[in-house]
C-alpha cells in the first residue's frame, strides 16, 4: 500500500514537474491545518454540551454562575490577548465621555504621568477579579466593593451619573464581542455573547446601576436581548456625551504615552499609528488625535488578518490558561498580578519572571521586570484596600467591608436573571 501511494505521488509530482516531497509537505500542511481548525472549536462544543445551551431559546435559563464560567474560559483559553486588549480599549473609550474624562483629568492619578501606571494596573486587576472569582464568592464581592468605595464620592456628589456607569458597563460587555467579531480567529457564539452580557449585568447590579431608570424596563428574555437594548441606549448617550475637550485630549495623550512606554522604543512610532487606526474616527475625534494615513491602514488590517488565519489554522488550542491574577494567598489573602503594563505592580519576582524568555526580552529592550522598584511595587501581591489612588491606599477598610457584605446580597450564583415570572 505504501509503495502504491509513493508510486502514485511520484507520478503526480513528475507530471506537475515537482519533487514528491513538495506534494507530501503540502498534504501534511493541509492535514495539520484541518486538525488545528477542528480542535480549536472543540472547547466551544464541549462547553455548550456541558452547560446544555444548544440554541437561543435555552439561553434564557443561563445562571450567573454559568455566565462566569463561560467568560472565564473565553478570557483565559479562547481569546486571552484580544479579550484583555478589548477591555483596555473599552475603558479608554469611556474616558472620552464628557463627565468621565473631564472629572478624571481633574482628580485622577490617570492624568498624572508619574502615577498613571498604578491606576491603570489597578483597573486591570479589578476587572480580572470580576472574571476570576465566581458569583457569591467573598473575593468577587470585595473587588466590586472596592470599586464602589472608590466611585462613591463622585456618585454621591452627582459628578458620575447612573447613565455614566451604565455606559462604562456597556463598553465593557460590547467591545469584547466586537473585537472577536472583527479581529479574532472566530467570533463569539450566541452562548458566549449571552454569557458576557449576563456577566456584566450582575456586576452592574452589584454596583447598584439602575437599569430601569435608563432603559425603561427591567426584564429581558436573555443576555443578548439585554445587550441589544443597552446598545440602542448607548448610541444616543454617545451622541450627547462623546466629544472633544482640551481636558479629554490631554488625558488621552497621557494614557497613549503610558501604553506605548510599555513597549520597546523602536515599536512605539508604528504602534502609535496602528493604535490610531484601531481607534476609529469617532474615538480619535473625541481625543483630538490625528487621522492615520493609507500606509498605516494598509499595514494594520493585513497584520490582523494574518494573525487571525495563523491562529485559526496553524496554532493548536491553548492547554494551560493565561493567568492574569492568582488565587488569594491562604495566609495573607494577597493576590498576585502577572500581567502588568509598565511597572511591575503586585508582580512576584520569581526566577522565571525575571530570567525567563519574557524577562530576558524585557531586559534587552530596557523595560522593567518583576522585582524592579522593590517593596514599593508590593511584590507580595495586593489586598483590595491597596487598590486605588495613593491617597486612598490602606484607607476605607471598614467601609469596603460594609460594601462587601452589601454586594454579596445583590447576586445569587444560581439565579437565572432572565427567567421571567409566568403569567396567569
* pLDDT tens track for 340-370: 999 999 999 999 999 999 999 999 999 999 9
Nearest to 31 by CA among 19, 43, 42, 23: 23
Q: At what angle do helices 138-156 and 116-132 cross, to 10 degrees?
A: 130
* pLDDT score for 13: 63
In whole angstroms, what is the distance from residue 83 CA to residue 201 CA? Answer: 18
pLDDT tens digits for range 251-298: 999 999 999 999 999 999 999 999 999 999 999 999 999 999 999 999
User: pTM here?
Assistant: 0.91
Percent of the chain having pLDDT more than 70? 94
> Could you report how far apart the first and last alpha carbons of the chain are, in Å?
71
* pLDDT score for 17: 64
Instruction: Name the pLDDT band for 16 (thresholds 50, 70, 90).
Output: low
* pLDDT score for 48: 94
* pLDDT score for 147: 95
pLDDT tens digits for range 102-114: 998 888 888 888 8
* pLDDT score for 19: 72
Higher-confidence residue: 408 or 413?
408
CB 138 within 8 A of CB 404: yes
Q: What is the number of H-type helices and E-type strands within the chain?
A: 18, 0
The DSSP symbol for 292 reads P
Residue with cell 470585595: 142
Nearest to 252 by CA among 264, 262, 263, 260: 260
* pLDDT score for 377: 96
* pLDDT score for 244: 87
pLDDT tens digits for range 85-142: 999 999 999 999 998 999 988 888 888 888 899 999 999 999 999 999 999 899 999 9
pLDDT tens digits for range 37-58: 899 999 999 999 999 999 999 9
* pLDDT score for 410: 81
* pLDDT score for 68: 95
In whole angstroms, what is the distance from residue 245 CA to residue 349 CA? Answer: 41
Instruction: Name the pLDDT band for 2 (thresholds 50, 70, 90).
Output: very low
Percent of the chain having pLDDT more than 90? 78
DSSP codes joined into one string, 343-387: S-TT----HHHHHSHHHHHHHHTT---TTTTGGGG-TT-B-GGG-
* pLDDT score for 112: 86
Q: Return mean pLDDT, the chain.
A: 91
Q: Which CA distances in Å does 306 have to 104, 185, 299, 420?
A: 37, 10, 11, 44
* pLDDT score for 86: 95
Q: Average pLDDT of 209-216?
A: 96
* pLDDT score for 3: 47
The DSSP symbol for 79 reads S
Amino acid at each position: 500500500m505504501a509503495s502504491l501511494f509513493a508510486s502514485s505521488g511520484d507520478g503526480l509530482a513528475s507530471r506537475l514537474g515537482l519533487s514528491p516531497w513538495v506534494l507530501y509537505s503540502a498534504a501534511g500542511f493541509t492535514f495539520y491545518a484541518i486538525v488545528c481548525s477542528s480542535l480549536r472549536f472543540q472547547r466551544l462544543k464541549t462547553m455548550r454540551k456541558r452547560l446544555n445551551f444548544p440554541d437561543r431559546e435555552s439561553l434564557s435559563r443561563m445562571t450567573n454562575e454559568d455566565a462566569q464560567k463561560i467568560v472565564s474560559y473565553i478570557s483565559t483559553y479562547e481569546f486571552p490577548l484580544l479579550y484583555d486588549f478589548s477591555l483596555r480599549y473599552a475603558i479608554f473609550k469611556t474616558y472620552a465621555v464628557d463627565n468621565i474624562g473631564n472629572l478624571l483629568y481633574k482628580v485622577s492619578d490617570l492624568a498624572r504621568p508619574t502615577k498613571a501606571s498604578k491606576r491603570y494596573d489597578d483597573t486591570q486587576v479589578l476587572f480580572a477579579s470580576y472574571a476570576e472569582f465566581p458569583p457569591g464568592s467573598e473575593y468577587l464581592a470585595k473587588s466590586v466593593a472596592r470599586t464602589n468605595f472608590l466611585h462613591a464620592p463622585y456618585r454621591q456628589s452627582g459628578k458620575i451619573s447612573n447613565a455614566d456607569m451604565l455606559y462604562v458597563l456597556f463598553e465593557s460587555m460590547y467591545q469584547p464581542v466586537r473585537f472577536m467579531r472583527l479581529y479574532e480567529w472566530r467570533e463569539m457564539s450566541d452562548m458566549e455573547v449571552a454569557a458576557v452580557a449576563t456577566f456584566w449585568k450582575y456586576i452592574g447590579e452589584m454596583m447598584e446601576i439602575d437599569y430601569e431608570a435608563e432603559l425603561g424596563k427591567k426584564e429581558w428574555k436573555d443576555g443578548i436581548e439585554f445587550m441589544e437594548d443597552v446598545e440602542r441606549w448607548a448610541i444616543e448617550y454617545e451622541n450627547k456625551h462623546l466629544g472633544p475637550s482640551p481636558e479629554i485630549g490631554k488625558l488621552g495623550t497621557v494614557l497613549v504615552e503610558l501604553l506605548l512606554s510599555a513597549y520597546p522604543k523602536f515599536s512605539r512610532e508604528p504602534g502609535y499609528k496602528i493604535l490610531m487606526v484601531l481607534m476609529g474616527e469617532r474615538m480619535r475625534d473625541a481625543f483630538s488625535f490625528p487621522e492615520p494615513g493609507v500606509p498605516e491602514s494598509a499595514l494594520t488590517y493585513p497584520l490582523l488578518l494574518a494573525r487571525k488565519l495563523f491562529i485559526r489554522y496553524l496554532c493548536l488550542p491553548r492547554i494551560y490558561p493565561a493567568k492574569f491574577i492568582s488565587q488569594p494567598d491562604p495566609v495573607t489573602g494577597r493576590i498576585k498580578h502577572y500581567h502588568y503594563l509598565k511597572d511591575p505592580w503586585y508582580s512576584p519576582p520569581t526566577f522565571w519572571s525575571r530570567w525567563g524568555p519574557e524577562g530576558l526580552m524585557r531586559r534587552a529592550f530596557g523595560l522593567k521586570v518583576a522585582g524592579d522598584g522593590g517593596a514599593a511595587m508590593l511584590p507580595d501581591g495586593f489586598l483590595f484596600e491597596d487598590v486605588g489612588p495613593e491617597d486612598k491606599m490602606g484607607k476605607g477598610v471598614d467601609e469596603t467591608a460594609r460594601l462587601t457584605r452589601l454586594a454579596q446580597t445583590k447576586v445569587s450564583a444560581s439565579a437565572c436573571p432572565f427567567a421571567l415570572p409566568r403569567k396567569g
